[in-house]
Every structure is written in C-alpha cells, then in structure tokens.
Amino acid sequence: MNRPPAAGIVRTAMVLAAGRGVRLRPITEDRPKPLVTVAGRAILDRTLDALAAAGVDACVVNTHHLGRMIAAHVARRGRPAVRISPEPRLLDTGGGVLKARPFLGDGPFFVVNGDVLWDEGPEGPALARLAAGFDPVRMDALLLVVARERAVGYDGPGDFTLGGDGRLHRRGAAPAASHVFTGLQVLNPALLAGCPEGAFSLNLLYDRAITARRLHGLAHAGRWYHVGTLDGLDRAEAALGAGGDGAPGARGRGP
C-alpha cells in the first residue's frame, strides 16, 4: 500500500512546460520555451536540478509546442526521473496537472512553472522551504510569493497580499498587491478532487482554497525572474550572467 511521505518531504513534482512561448518569439520558433537558455543553461535544466536538490525522485513534464525536443532533452538526464505528459490539445495549468495526477503519488507534490528562475536567497533553498512549510491538515496549496520589488522582469500590479496568518488574499479591485506568485508551489492532491477533465486554470482551485481558508503563501527573500518575455529574458541574462551560449547576438538559444 502506498503511503504519503512524512511531513516536510515532497518526492514528486510537475513542471508546466506546454506553453507556446508566444511572447518569446522569434526565439521560440525553433525551440520550446523551457529549452531557452539563460546564462548558458536551459531553464528546464535549472528547474529539474533544483527539484533534484530538494529530494524529488520523479517529475512529470507536460509538453505541447515542439514537445519532442523536450522529450529528447530530458532523456539525457538522470535524477529526477522524468515522465513526459504530452498534450495534443492544451489543457491549461489545472487540466495539465489533473492529467498527470496518476503519476504524482498520494502525497503533496510540487508544481513549477516552466518559465521562471529564482535566486535561493538568505533563508535557504525555496523548494525545501516550501516542502517544510506545507501542512496538509491546514493547507490545500502553499504558494511561494515574492515582494514586487524583488520580481525581475515583472511589471504587473501583483497577485496577492500575504496575511499575518500566512493566508493569501487576491488583489481584487485594489490597484496593486504586495506580492507576486512565483510559479513555485506545493499542492495537496485533495485540491483536485471533483475536477472535470479538460482545460482549466489552477486559479480556479486557488479560489476554491481561498473560500475554504486553505490557500497559504510563503514569502521568498531572494530575487525571482520572470522570463516569459524578451525583456524579462534580457534582465535575467544581465543578472545571472550575460551571453546565453557565449555567442554575441545568440540570446536565449541553446546548443
């Protein structure tokens, strides 16, 4: 009988890598967004390395745009073991996670967006902090959030305010919110109960968790990089080390 991992231990993960990368064109015309390089390393490799360092043994990566390139790329890797979840029709974030649910085990699991990077910051590795902070008795989701001033390449109004009790609240009608969702999170499998198959956003589940007072946030003290746009990619390159693959003018293009 499979048993959930002990508290503070998360052994499985999903990387959301099925997007078309429209805002990164022309770079993404010949490669999927997760294989775009920043300072010489593919975003996907940086993410999978961080998951492995956090103790993740198995990871699902969903694919759509140029998905065969992702499958070939991860086939060359070791830990974590990667299973590809192809999406002939895009399922959005929630639908993609639901499709992969049978491979994510009985315990809480990480979900990481495929177009984000982060510095670990002074408080230690972000993923380990998320795992240690997740309490399935009180939480359906624990989202890593960052203060807007630490969000590199992001110019939006913010997503959430973080309460003193650790709960997250939507920006709503306010002109701005203090924190941005980083795309790193731990989810309780119970949050997916009763969801219909097909395309839907994880935002629907966050709203369900807010109503139940079970959506929590963890503040990240390091920098966070949004590389979903060309400007964000340039800023990440400048911060993490210029020159993608070392060739002038070859921004974001891997080998």
The predicted-structure confidence for 171-224, as pLDDT tens digits, reads as follows 988 899 999 999 999 999 999 998 988 999 999 999 999 999 999 999 999 999
What is the reported pLDDT for 67? 74
CATH number for position 122: 3.90.550.10
What is the reported pLDDT for 180? 96
Rounded Cα–Cα distance for residues 22 and 127 (Å): 28
Token duo for residue 29? 């015309």
Quote the number of domains for the chain. Answer: 1
- Kindly state whether residue 29 falls inside one of the protein's structural domains: yes
What is the reported pLDDT for 250? 34
- Kindly state whether residue 67 falls inside one of the protein's structural domains: yes
- Kindly state whether residue 185 falls inside one of the protein's structural domains: yes
The model carries a pTM of 0.88
- Kindly state whether residue 249 falls inside one of the protein's structural domains: no
- Kindly state whether residue 253 falls inside one of the protein's structural domains: no
Q: In this structure, how many other beta carbons lie within 10 angstroms of the beta carbon of residue 238?
A: 12
Average pLDDT on 229-249 reads 61
Q: In this structure, how many other beta carbons lie within 10 angstroms of the beta carbon of residue 243?
A: 14
State pLDDT tens for residues 27-53: 667 778 888 888 888 889 999 999 999
What is the reported pLDDT for 118? 93
Residue carrying structure tokens 């795309």: 183
Domain hosting 127: range is 12-240
- Characterize the bridge pairing of strands 224-226 and 215-220: unpaired
> CA–CA distance from 24 to each of 63, 66, 68, 127 (Å)?
17, 14, 19, 26
- Kindly state whether residue 245 falls inside one of the protein's structural domains: no
Is the Cβ–Cβ distance between 83 and 60 less than 8 Å? yes
CA-based end-to-end distance of the chain: 44
State pLDDT tens for residues 59-73: 999 998 787 888 988
